[in-house]
């Protein structure tokens, strides 16, 4: 195909600006940031959060997750407290509502950072799920970017959390089970430690706290906390635990993604080298041609590891 020579050219340039080229395929919402995003729990628009995944155990939604490459979903370790058997789980991608759609991915393997799920409030509440086959990327199914391990998310920074969790304490999401989005602010770690002092919960160094200006419940375990930096969405956290939802002085607690980004990269690379990952096939008729070309080239080169922009988060925002 005519793609050949152009791919070669692009691959050559990958070495110089690998971060930028690789992240062109991730963190791209199909909805502009200023449109349809309302403070407080609110149904999300199609394509706004194309990395949002639904983790099902025997076809029942149990947790959220985020697609981080064509074959991997990042979620929380405590989502697997009932079973660690990969055949019990399914992943649904590109869906706005919880449905029994027959289009889902089976799971090849589940990797927990700590080996086994711990009780709420323990360190290492993070897990990787490998799909049995590569996801078909489209306008509705795209990976989120991962931050660098040095990234910091400062207090007051506005981020978004999405999921199909309870809309309020004790109130499950009502039909039609539409994906909810809520804007939250990163909370200072010391303040969060104090908030949770004498509550039985301990804020560890691999955690991140965020509280909404609205009072939406954050019972969306495994789902992504994402922040927009220079027009690209980065995953800052994984919904982990909290006391109740939306209570004053009880911020939501997330697993801090930068603390595990090296572990994530290690496992994705290891899986690829052991030949587990088949050559992904990308089909998208909606995206601009250049974007499609870049993705194809990157995937053909078996470089489906999406990296964050190289500019550290601590700078200009
Ligand atoms: C995992 O589940 C499948 C199907 O339910 C079952 O056949 C298999 O024996 C289970 N494996 C383990 C290790 O329990
Ligand atoms: C994974 O895919 C292979 C074929 O590619 C199939 O034989 C196998 O049953 C699948 N495993 C699961 C758990 O669906
Ligand atoms: C927690 O509370 C105890 C007293 O109840 C206090 O001595 C300690 O400094 C507090 N820790 C934090 C982090 O606020």
Q: What is the residue-level pLDDT of the chain in tens, covering all 317 positions?
A: 333 333 333 333 333 223 332 334 799 988 865 443 333 577 888 889 999 999 999 999 999 999 999 999 999 999 999 999 999 999 999 999 988 888 999 999 999 999 999 887 899 999 999 999 999 999 999 999 999 999 999 999 999 999 988 777 777 788 888 998 888 999 999 999 999 988 878 899 999 999 876 544 544 899 999 999 988 999 999 999 887 666 777 888 999 999 999 999 999 877 776 654 443 333 333 334 444 444 454 454 544 444 434 333 322 32
Nearest ligand to the C-alpha of residue 57?
A: 1
| Omega before residue 176 within 30° of 0, cis | yes
Residues in contact with 152: Cβ distance below 8 Å, sequence separation at least 6, in sequence order = 258, 312, 313, 314
pLDDT confidence of residue 157 = 95
Residue of the nearest CA to atom 11 in ligand 1?
Answer: 85
Rounded Cα gap, residues 251 and 242, in angstroms = 7
Q: Distance, CA 54 to ligand 1 centroid (Å)?
A: 21
Residues in contact with 61: Cβ distance below 8 Å, sequence separation at least 6, in sequence order = 54, 55, 98, 164
pLDDT confidence of residue 296 = 53
Which of 23, 121, 8, 103 shows the shortest CA–CA distance to 56? 103
Q: Is the pTM of this model over 0.75?
A: yes
**What are the pocket residues of ligand 3 if the criterion is a CB atom closer than 6 Å to any ligand atom?**
193-194, 197-198
Rounded Cα gap, residues 164 and 73, in angstroms = 16
Beta bridge partners of 110: 129
Rounded Cα gap, residues 162 and 226, in angstroms = 9
Element (H, E) at 241: strand 232-241
Nearest ligand to the C-alpha of residue 201?
A: 3
Closest ligand 1 atom to residue 86 Cα is: 1
Rounded Cα gap, residues 62 and 40, in angstroms = 23
Residue of the nearest CA to atom 12 in ligand 3?
Answer: 194
Closest ligand 2 atom to residue 108 Cα is: 13
Q: Do the Cβ atoms of 131 and 73 come closer than 8 Å?
A: yes
Q: Distance, CA 67 to ligand 3 centroid (Å)?
A: 39
Which of 186, 223, 181 shows the shortest CA–CA distance to 208? 186
Nearest ligand to the C-alpha of residue 58?
A: 1
Residue 106 Cβ contacting ligand 2 at under 6 Å: yes
Of 192, 194, 196, 197, the residue with max ligand 3 atoms within 8 A of its CB, to mutate for a pocket test, comes to 197
Residue of the nearest CA to atom 10 in ligand 3?
Answer: 197
Q: Do the Cβ atoms of 161 and 184 come closer than 8 Å?
A: yes
Q: Do the Cβ atoms of 182 and 160 come closer than 8 Å?
A: yes
Residue of the nearest CA to atom 1 in ligand 2?
Answer: 132
**What are the pocket residues of ligand 1 if the criterion is a CB atom closer than 6 Å to any ligand atom?**
85, 87
Which positions are catalytic?
Answer: 78, 125, 221
pLDDT confidence of residue 225 = 95
pLDDT confidence of residue 121 = 82
Residue of the nearest CA to atom 12 in ligand 2?
Answer: 106
Half-sphere exposure in the Cβ direction for 202 (13 Å, CA): 6
Give burial (CB, 10 Å; 0-12/13-18/19+) of 154: exposed
Residue 109 Cβ contacting ligand 2 at under 6 Å: no
Rounded Cα gap, residues 4 and 26, in angstroms = 23
The label of the residue with tokens 């991997």 reads 72
């Amino acid at each position: 195909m005519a793609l050949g020579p152009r791919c070669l050219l692009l691959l050559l340039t990958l070495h110089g600006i690998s971060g930028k080229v690789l992240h062109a395929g991730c963190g791209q919402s199909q909805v502009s940031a200023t449109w349809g995003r309302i403070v407080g729990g609110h149904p999300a628009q199609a394509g706004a959060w194309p990395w949002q995944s639904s983790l099902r155990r025997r076809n029942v939604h149990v947790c959220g997750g985020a697609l981080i490459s064509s074959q991997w979903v990042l979620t929380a370790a405590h989502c697997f407290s009932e079973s660690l058997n990969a055949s019990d789980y399914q992943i649904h991608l590109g869906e706005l509502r919880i449905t029994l759609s027959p289009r889902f991915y089976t799971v090849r393997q589940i990797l927990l950072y700590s080996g086994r799920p711990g009780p709420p409030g323990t360190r290492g509440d993070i897990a990787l799920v490998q799909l049995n086959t590569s996801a078909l990327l489209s306008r509705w199914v795209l990976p989120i970017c991962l931050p660098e391990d040095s990234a910091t998310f400062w207090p007051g920074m506005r981020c978004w959390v999405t999921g199909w969790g309870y809309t309020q304490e004790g109130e499950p999401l009502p039909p039609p089970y539409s994906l909810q989005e809520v804007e939250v602010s990163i909370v200072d770690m010391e303040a969060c430690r104090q908030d949770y002092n004498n509550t039985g919960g301990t804020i560890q160094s691999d955690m991140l706290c965020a509280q909404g200006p609205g009072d939406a419940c954050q019972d969306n375990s495994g789902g992504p906390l994402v922040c927009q930096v220079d027009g690209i969405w980065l995953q800052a956290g994984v919904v982990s635990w909290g006391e109740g939802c939306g209570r004053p002085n009880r911020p939501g607690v997330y697993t801090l993604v930068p603390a595990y980004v090296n572990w994530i990269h290690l496992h994705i690379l290891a899986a690829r080298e052991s030949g587990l990952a088949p050559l992904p096939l990308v089909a998208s008729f909606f995206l601009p041609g250049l974007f499609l070309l870049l993705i194809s080239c990157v995937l053909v080169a078996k470089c489906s590891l999406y990296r964050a922009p190289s500019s550290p988060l601590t700078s200009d925002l």
